[in-house]
Amino acid sequence: MDSAQAHHLAVIAGLPMPPSESIDDFYKTPKASAHVSKIAGIVNRFKHHPALLSWCVGNELAFPYKPKYNQFYTIFNDVVDMIHQDDPQHPVTTTIMSFQKKNIVNIKLRTKIDFISFNIFGSIQTLNEDLQKFNWFWDGPFLITEWGIEGPWTADSQNAWGLILKIPVQKRQSNIFQPMKSICRLIIPGFWVDGILLGQKQELTPTWFSMFDENGAETEAVQVMHYIWTGQKAPKKAPVLKYMLVDGKGARDNILFKPGITINSKVYIEDPDTTGLTFKWEIFAEDWFKPNGAFNQKKPKEIKNLIIGQSGPDLKFKVPATEGPYRLLVYVYDQKGSFATSNTPFYVLKNP
C-alpha cells in the first residue's frame, strides 16, 4: 500500500473468499465466522490508508441460484455489511469471469455490493453490446479488472495431444489493438477502467501474455500500446517474426519425433537481414499441471545440453530421450532492447 502511494497508484484490495461450492467444508462450518473476523481485521487496519480505492470480496466466484447456497450468500453479505459499517468511505465489489448474466442476476438480487468487476479479456469486444442488451435488468456501475488479448481458455485450436496452440505471431498486434479500441468506445460516465498486464507472466507459456521478458526487454506489443495511448509511433521497432518451422513443420502439424535424433529448426524474420540480432533458444517439457484449475505460474525448467549448434535463425538440436510433450521456444533480440518470440510444440514417442 505504501509503495502504491509512492507511485501515485490507487489499490483495489482483494479479500479472498473460498469458492461458493465449498458449502459443507467451509460456509457451514466455524471456519466461515473466523474468516469474516480475519477480514474485519484487515479492513480496519488499512481503511484509512490514502492509497486504498475500494475492497474486492472474492475473485471470480460463482453466484449460483439454488437454495443450498444460501449460507454462502449469508457469509458473503456478512463481509460486505461489515465493510459498509466499518469503512463507509470505500465501496465494495466482487469480480466475475466475463459478462455472465446468471451471475449478474444473483449478484443484484442476493448481494449488497456497490458495483461489479469484470475479468473479461478478449470478450471486451462484445461488452458494449452485452451491456445494452441486458440494461433492462441491470445497468449499474462496473469496473473492468482484467482484460487484454484472448487467453488460452478461449483458444479453439489444439493439436493431437490436446495442447492449446498459441495465437500466430502475425495476429498478436491486432489482438492487442482490437480490445484497446473497444475500451475507447466504452469510456462513458460511470465506467471505470483498470488495466492489462504490463509485465512478464508465465501462464501456459512464458510468453502468451508477457509484454516484456524477465529482464525488461520489450515486445512489439509495448510499441503498439505506445501508439494507441500517444498517437505517435514508438521510436524503436521490435523484430517481427513470421513463423517457425521444426523439421520443416509448423505448430499445427502434430510434430512427432523419436528420442535422440537430430532435428533442424528455423525461425523466419520479416526482415531477412538479421544483422545485429541475437537468437536465444530454449527447450522445455510441457507443463500441464493446473493447481486450483489454473495454469501453473512457475516457468518450466529448461532442458539443457540438447542444442547441438546454431547460426542466426537456424538451430540444430537433439530430441529429448524421455517420452512426452515438449516445446521449442526462440527469443530474437535486437540491439535496442526489443525482442520477438515464437514457440512450437512437439511430442517424443519411442515408437511413433
How far is CA 91 from each of CA 59, 84, 112, 138, rounded to the nearest angstrom? 16, 8, 11, 18
Q: What is the pLDDT of residue 37?
A: 97
Spell out the domains of the chain, with CATH numbers in brackets.
2-230 (3.20.20.80), 241-348 (2.60.40.10)
Whether pLDDT at 54 is above 50? yes
Q: What is the pLDDT of residue 222?
A: 80
Least confident of 90-99, 165-174, 188-197: 188-197
How far is CA 64 from each of CA 11, 15, 27, 76, 77, rounded to the nearest angstrom? 28, 20, 14, 13, 15
Q: What is the pLDDT of residue 328?
A: 93
Q: What is the pLDDT of residue 99?
A: 92
Band the pLDDT of 301: cuts 50, 70, 90: confident
Strand order in the sheet with 278-285: 256-257, 339-348, 324-333, 278-285
Element (H, E) at 210: none
Q: What is the pLDDT of residue 179?
A: 53
Q: What is the pLDDT of residue 217?
A: 85
d(CA 116, CA 122) in angstroms, rounded, equals 18
pLDDT 10s digits, 235-260: 888 888 888 999 999 888 889 999 99
Q: Kind of pairing, strands 142-146 and 115-119?
A: parallel
Cell 491486432 -> residue: 174
The C-alpha R_g of the chain, in whole angstroms, comes to: 24
Q: What is the pLDDT of residue 57?
A: 98
Whether pLDDT at 71 is above 60? yes
Q: What is the pLDDT of residue 200?
A: 54
Q: Three-state SS for 333? A: strand
Question: Of 202 and 246, which is predicted with more confidence?
Answer: 246
pTM: 0.66
d(CA 279, CA 289) in angstroms, rounded, equals 29
d(CA 93, CA 116) in angstroms, rounded, equals 6
For 220-258, give the secondary structure using H, E and C. HHHHHHHHHHHCCCCCCCCCCEEEEEECCECHHHCCEEC
Q: Tell me what the mean pLDDT of segment 303-327 comes to.
A: 93
196 alpha-carbon distance from chain centroid: 9
214 Cβ contact partners less than 8 Å away, ≥ 6 residues apart:
200
Question: Of 201 and 99, which is predicted with more confidence?
Answer: 99
Q: Tell me what the mean pLDDT of segment 287-291 comes to.
A: 57
